Amino acid sequence: MVSKAERERERNIARNKALLEALGLPEISASVAPSSTKKRKATTSQSSDSKRPKKVPRPDLSIPDPGSSETTPEPTERRRSARNAGKKVEYNGEAQTNPGDSLVKSRLPRIVSEGNFIEHESNTEYVGNKLGKRLHNPKTYGHIPGIEVGTWWATRAQCSTDAVHAPFVAGISGHTEKGAYSVALSGGYDDDVDLGYAFTYTGSGGRDLKGTKNKPKNLRTAPQSSHQTFDNTFNKCLESSVKTRKPVRVIRGYKLRSPFATEEGYRYDGLYVVEKAWMELGLEGYQVCKFAFKRLPGQPPLPRREEALNDEPVEGQSADEESDENIKEEDTKDN
DNA sequence: GGGCCCGCAGGG
DNA sequence: CCCTGCGGGCCC
């Protein structure tokens, strides 16, 4: 038996999916199975052990002892498990006393490719769950220099430090007239559809973050309790993106319900264009703002979750054409 | 795992 | 300043 809400959800999904498919594939119509192209080793990390310990972003790297011993005073070890993310973990002990020193070395971040994902080893210290020193302005359109598609972070704060998506919590960042700089796909709306090369996205607002007067909640996210509108600043940004067609940086997170979600943390999935903006009835019975995104061609294929690999192969994935270096950082000159 | 509450960055 | 927001940690 299927509940009414569930049916509603299925209908929304079907409608959104049809809409995305109507947008067409991103140029290359070749439906190449991603595993057959460049990421043949994409899933080796977990293939051997049947019981996955839930998070294995890095099976093993050049770092001597990745094993659970987090206490290694290894100064080069910067990545942490998401679980440790706000703790007062003393990685790098004394570096903290003088953050400026270790932060300012302005070498560009180094990327270590790792099959299914890319580990980001920048010189930037990620201090706790706070914003570190940025090398670039997040209020720009297009790629951030030095940050490859596929770059992975444990937390939103780290992603913000690298200027890919500035807000810690909010899903949308942008300029109301020129368009969005970036969005985060991190769950939150269960009738969004993610095909990888295209997805639908639900806008912001309409949530009662404060609870009632007697029962103040002061939440950062909450159930829908009123209609969304395009007056909302964030929604306006995305609406403008449809007109300006500026590229939007997209990150996907572990909460996303999609074969393209990360196992944990957040991943930079490159540039998309917002093709369409509209309103529809959301699952919670309120009007929501919806947006259809389409990925720009010429970008690395998206990794899929392990458990999704057995499913039907996805279309629209193809090896990189010539890389699109023409889409570079393009300043907004308003600050 | 769910509930709750907090800090925090960004923008008006 | 104030408020928002697809985090994150902790406690249960």
Q: Does A5 or A83 have the greater pLDDT score?
A: A5
| Residue A303 within a domain | no
- Give the CA A289 to C1' C6 distance in Å: 14
| Residue A271 within a domain | yes
| Residue A155 within a domain | yes
Mean pLDDT of A151-175: 93
The answer to whether the beta carbon of residue A218 comes closer than 7 angstroms to any atom of strand B is: yes
**What is the overall mean pLDDT for chain A?**
69
CATH number at residue A158: 2.30.280.10
Could you tell me the two tokens for A86? 């706000």
- Give the CA A245 to C1' B7 distance in Å: 35
The answer to whether the beta carbon of residue A137 comes closer than 7 angstroms to any atom of strand B is: no
Which pLDDT value is given to residue A225? Answer: 79
| Residue A246 within a domain | yes
Query: Considering its fold, how many domains does chain A have in total?
Result: 1
The residue range of the domain holding A231 is: 149-210+218-298
- Give the CA A53 to C1' B11 distance in Å: 40
- Give pLDDT tens digits for A9-28: 888 888 888 888 888 766 54
Lowest average pLDDT, out of A68-72, A245-249, A250-254, goes to A68-72
Band of pLDDT at residue A195, cut at 50, 70 and 90: very high
The A 158-177 residues near strand B by Cβ under 7 Å are 160, 166-169, 173, 176
| Residue A308 within a domain | no
pLDDT at A126 over 80: no
Which pLDDT value is given to residue A50? Answer: 29
| Residue A44 within a domain | no
Nucleotide at minimal C1' distance from the A134 CA: B9
| Percentage, residues of chain A above pLDDT 90 | 38
| Residue A87 within a domain | no
Q: How many CA atoms lie within 13 A of A23 on its CB side?
A: 25
Mean pLDDT of A248-271: 94
| Residue A254 within a domain | yes
